[in-house]
Amino acid sequence: MKWSVHSRIQHVSLRRLQNLVGFGSVGLSFSTKIIKFQLWAIAVGVLFVVIVSFNRVEATEMNNNTNSEVYHFKIGSFQVAVISDGLLKLPPLPTYAPTANPQEVERAMLERFWSPNELNLYFNTVYVDTGKHKILIDTGAGSELGTGLARLIPNLHSIGIEPQDIDAVIITHAHPDHIGGIVKNNGQLTFPNARYHISKAEWQFWTAKNIDLSSLKIPVQFKESIKAAAHKHLEAITDRVNLFQPKQEIVPGIYTIDAAGHTPGQSVLRIVSDNEQLIVAADVFFNPAFDLEHPDWQTGFDFDPLQAQITRRKLLDEIVRERTMVVAYHMPFPALGYVRSRKDRYEWQPVLWQFGDRPI
């Protein structure tokens, strides 16, 4: 008969306890046997608690098979975390390289051992604790893009952050995958104590009476859903929004950079603390095989594709020159790394994964 590890533990432990307390020994007085029996009962009870606890720990470890969705690090004295909102698997064409040669797109994906028929699109928000402010950069997609997303709030909970703890939300741009987490399904604000910060150009474009998305190379239905999401989520924060300009300090240590092209008022953020820096690149680039290796490739969501390309090269050249660490919203989690140039192309260098005590 085959025994499990637990069966062996229980059998051996019970035999040792019998020997320890001398239960079953001959020649003992009745009172001694009673005392021995009481000791035996106590010992069995303790063993039972240990075994049950062991089983529970093992069950928890076996059931907890989800990879990490939060990555902690520091920029100077600021505690920072990349927090995943989830992952979508989508066809790469035509949406994510509408003007590229399909054979070249397939080659770029196969070189990275990716399926040429499926693009992994990651959604990575950034949380910053400056010591004075608890800041969230973008809010994820919420329920705007269906299942597979809306992981932000559970992941915040996992590191002890409640939505009401957030006092500032910075919106890089108003596409639904960045603002869809502002309003909950019940119509209430997800982050009720926050002030919301967005560029003036972005706000004016998306709150206009007529929003012209004719330059986007996506289906008409998707354009309408983007407009509806902007109306829903931006209208909800009208009385608590701060409009900023490029090169403005939003909160101490976080500065804005104009990154127009993908949208009319997209912003990149520079986080600075104790002579250390992090660039939050929003959607200036999103994929190492696409618009890093081929910086002239556009996505179907680019409002002004030519300006998006100019912005991308300008930012990437600065990142390369200054050797600045960068986090990009749609790059593979944790979306944190460096960029190096190779002639007219760019390469992604992920940070080395760091283990250790959770700082937040």
139-164 per-position pLDDT tens digit:
999 999 987 799 999 999 999 999 99
Q: What is the strand order of the sheet 241-244 is part of? A: 70-75, 78-90, 119-129, 134-137, 168-170, 195-199, 241-244
Alpha-carbon distance 246 to 188, whole Å? 30
pLDDT digits (tens, 9 = 90+) for 100-129: 999 999 999 999 999 999 999 999 999 999
Q: What is the pLDDT of residues 40-92, one digit of tens each?
A: 555 445 444 444 444 444 433 444 567 889 999 999 999 999 999 999 999 99
The string of pLDDT tens digits covering residues 288-342 is 999 999 999 999 999 999 999 999 999 999 999 999 999 999 999 999 999 999 9
CATH architecture entry for 70-350 = 4-Layer Sandwich (3.60)
Q: CA angle 201-202-208, nearest 5°?
A: 90
Q: Give, for 84, the enclosing helix (H) or strand (E).
A: strand 78-90
pTM over 0.75: yes
For residue range 253-286, what is the model confidence (pLDDT) as tens digits?
999 999 999 999 999 999 999 999 999 999 999 9
- Picking from 333, 343, 324, the residue whose alpha carbon sits closest to that of residue 124 is 333
For residues 134 and 145, what is the distance between their CA atoms, to the nearest angstrom?
26
Better pLDDT: 14 or 217: 217
The residue extents of the domains of the chain are 2-63, 70-350
Is residue 316 within 8 A of residue 339, CB to CB? The reply is yes
Cβ atoms of 309 and 295 closer than 8 Å? yes
